[in-house]
Structure 1
Amino acid sequence: MAPTVSRERLLLGASTITLSLTSLAGASATVLAWIGPVHRPLDMVIPPVMTALFLVLLAMLLRWPHRVGLIMRVALAAALAALVAPAWFYTWQASVTPGLRLVDIYPPVASLLLILMVTAMIYLPTREGVAIVVAGWLLVALPVLVYLFAHPQEMRTPRGADLLMTYGPVFVLFLVLLPVQRKLTARIQHLVSEQVQMEAMVNRDPLTRIYNRRFCQLVLQDLLTRKIPAGVIMFDLDRFKAINDTYGHPVGDRVLQRVAQRCQELLRKNECLARWGGEEFLVVVPDVDATALPALAERLRTSIAELSIEPVSLVSASVGIARMIDGDTADALLQRVDEALYRAKKQGGNVVSA
């Protein structure tokens, strides 16, 4: 099918990239720590542990993409802990060790705090995001700033000035920009929601809320263009005119809605069910073989026949099926399935024909 790219899909893609790059960064930091002239305990432990953790989280994300929110929360919490540990350990070590300067031993992780905060504001609701931002600054930036103000000679070094700017004015600027970022995000989400609603109006049948003929034709053409093996199922409700004539159009509309709902429940997300016209429906089934297509058509026929829709005594459908062949066009495939449906009608209805 050709669905709109949703915010969930974008978030999943961004999360996959984020965890991949973070794992790569952790692996690089691990190598640099091991080949460096001085082996400090935290530098030897935190990067490899974080690399392993992010690789596990990446594997979990690929296995359970619907848990992206929980997985990214764990990643954010772990990243925050990985920044808090060196901030407190190295400031303490520099404070109690004569001749040891923080600017010489503090790892190059200052910019990672800003990245962590941006990520938190993207993945978390406003209150949670703000809580992470404030906690990050208090636990990571504040001890470093307190140390620098207590040691002005280090604050005047290039490294000290860099830490002061990153954890001070830059952070304040970040806090000022956060509300703007939130408003822009909310506006973008509103526009995306409006786009989804407009596409639903264009692509959905107003009565049954399943796809309409136009959208189903686009899906079918897309499968043909990409040469993805597919099949089509066309079914037509038997004696539907008699239902309208006997019970009235409101009952006929309810029959169409119940049939569409029941069939939709039997189909996978990548299978397109559309109201083709009147009481006629079409299902486009990608990646289907010669055995599965008739089995699915039979399940649809049986399910329709089992529906109980008062006051109609019986609802049934004639079903035709056709599979895509090499060199097929949409018109040729639809013509074959229409002919199969006609043969099912000729047999008296409530039957599947190929």
Structure 2
Amino acid sequence: MPSTLSREHFIRRAGLVTLALTSFTAGATTLVNWLRPIKAPMDVVVPPLVSLAFAGLFVALKRRPQHLATTMRLAVLVSLLALAAPAWFYTWQAATHPGLRLIETYPPVSALLLALLATTVIFLPPRQAIPTLVLCWLLVAGPVLGYLFTHPQELHSARGADLVMTYGPCFVMIMVLLPVHRGLAGRIRHLVDERTRMEAMVNRDALTQLYNRRFCELVLQDLLARRAPVALLMFDLDNFKTINDSLGHAAGDAVLQAVADCCQARAPRDACAARWGGDEFVIVLPSLDSTALQDFADQLCAALAALTLETTPRVTASLGMALAAEHDTPATLMQRVDQAQYRAKHQGGNCAAW
């Protein structure tokens, strides 16, 4: 049946992709650094540690998706440490060794700061994102920019200008775009919530909160069009008219709500339980064979008979069931299940029939 990908699920998948790509990139960087004839200690230590850390975070998020926020905070922290360590080390090295120039020894990681800032914007809440962005800039860009502005010869080189542009205007641009991003994200969430509310109004039965007949017909039509295996179950209540006539419509509504809750609780997650009209209900059950359908119908019949409601007599139902044949249409399948329900009714009710 139709389903929508929740925002939480989407963000979780984005987090997994981010962790996997970062681990792979750090691993590839490790390989490249190890193949160089001259290896700097920082370059052969930081990338493999980052690769292992992000691989561990990927496994942790895969096993415990409910810990998304904590996992991504740790990812931001690891990234910050991985970028801050070379920034301070190579800046200190260039400042204390006259023969070394930062623009020659500093590894090409400036673009990774922008990736870190983007990750921070996406995965951290606004109150944490802004101070984290500032902290990232101070710890990573601060020492590099401070060094370059005190060494004009390196500042005016092509590499120096590139570092200044990356760590300066690009960071400011991200800080300016952050409120815009948050505003758009909030607006999108509002629109999604509004769409969900409107879909519920269109597709749900107001009294029982089950799907309505229109939506159930669409689901059944879609499954049959795809030639998917489909089982169909229809039932109505054996003594509902008596309840309505003797106890009033309020009592009848309470019975319908209790029956709907029972259906919702027992139906599989991929099923579509709907109020067809009046006291008649339909459940579309994908991928059930005849044995499983019979078991489900018997269990539902017993559960309905066991319902305990104040001021109302025992509720029973007559259930008809059918499996979709190869060339069935919604009309032919509904006709067969309606005939099966008719047979259950003539067998005295409180039973399921084919």
Render the CA deviation track for 1:132-172: whole Å, top value 9, x for unaligned.
Answer: 21221122121222222222222211111111111112211
How many percent identity over aligned positions?
Answer: 52
Q: Give the TM-score, by structure 2 length.
A: 0.92
Equivalent AA in structure 2 for residue 126 of structure 1: P
Trace 1:218-257 onto structure 2 (pairs within 5 A): 218-257=218-257
Equivalent AA in structure 2 for residue 157 of structure 1: S
Trace 1:136-175 onto structure 2 (pairs within 5 A): 136-175=136-175
Counterpart of 2:266 in structure 1 is 266
Render the CA deviation track for 1:163-186: whole Å, top value 9, x for unaligned.
Answer: 111111221121112111111111
Q: Which secondary structure state, in structure 2, belongs to the residue aligned with residue 276 of structure 1?
A: strand
Q: Is the 8 A contact 1:263 1:303 kept in 2?
A: no
How many angstroms does 1:277 deviate by? 1.3
How many angstroms does 1:275 deviate by? 1.0
Equivalent AA in structure 1 for residue 81 of structure 2: A
Is 1:134 the counterpart of 2:123? The answer is no
Q: Report the Cα distance in structure 2 between the residues aligned to 1:302 and 1:139, rounded to whole angstroms.
A: 67
In structure 2, the CA distance between the partners of 1:217 and 1:12, relative to structure 1 (3 Å rule), is farther
After superposition, the CA RMSD in angstroms is 2.0
Q: Report the Cα distance in structure 1 between the residues aligned to 2:250 and 2:74, rounded to whole angstroms.
A: 52
In structure 2, the CA distance between the partners of 1:20 and 1:336, relative to structure 1 (3 Å rule), is farther
Counterpart of 2:114 in structure 1 is 114
Counterpart of 1:317 in structure 2 is 317
Render the CA deviation track for 1:3-53: whole Å, top value 9, x for unaligned.
Answer: 233323332343343233323322321222122233222322332333333
Is 1:342 the counterpart of 2:345? The answer is no
In structure 2, the CA distance between the partners of 1:48 and 1:328, relative to structure 1 (3 Å rule), is farther
How many angstroms does 1:301 deviate by? 1.8
6-15 vs 250-259, greater mean Cα deviation: 6-15
145-154 vs 252-261, greater mean Cα deviation: 145-154
Render the CA deviation track for 1:53-74: whole Å, top value 9, x for unaligned.
Answer: 3334334444444444343333
In structure 2, the CA distance between the partners of 1:166 and 1:258, relative to structure 1 (3 Å rule), is same
Counterpart of 2:183 in structure 1 is 183
Counterpart of 1:198 in structure 2 is 198
In structure 2, the CA distance between the partners of 1:353 and 1:67, relative to structure 1 (3 Å rule), is farther
Is 1:100 the counterpart of 2:116? The answer is no
Q: Is the 8 A contact 1:305 1:317 kept in 2?
A: yes
In structure 2, the CA distance between the partners of 1:297 and 1:50, relative to structure 1 (3 Å rule), is farther
Q: Which secondary structure state, in structure 2, belongs to the residue aligned with residue 307 of structure 1?
A: coil
102-111 vs 250-259, greater mean Cα deviation: 102-111
23-32 vs 62-71, greater mean Cα deviation: 62-71
Give the gaps of 5 or more residues in structure 2. none
Q: Which secondary structure state, in structure 1, belongs to the residue aligned with residue 290 of structure 2?
A: coil
In structure 2, the CA distance between the partners of 1:224 and 1:53, relative to structure 1 (3 Å rule), is farther
Counterpart of 1:58 in structure 2 is 58
How many angstroms does 1:207 deviate by? 0.9
Equivalent AA in structure 1 for residue 164 of structure 2: L
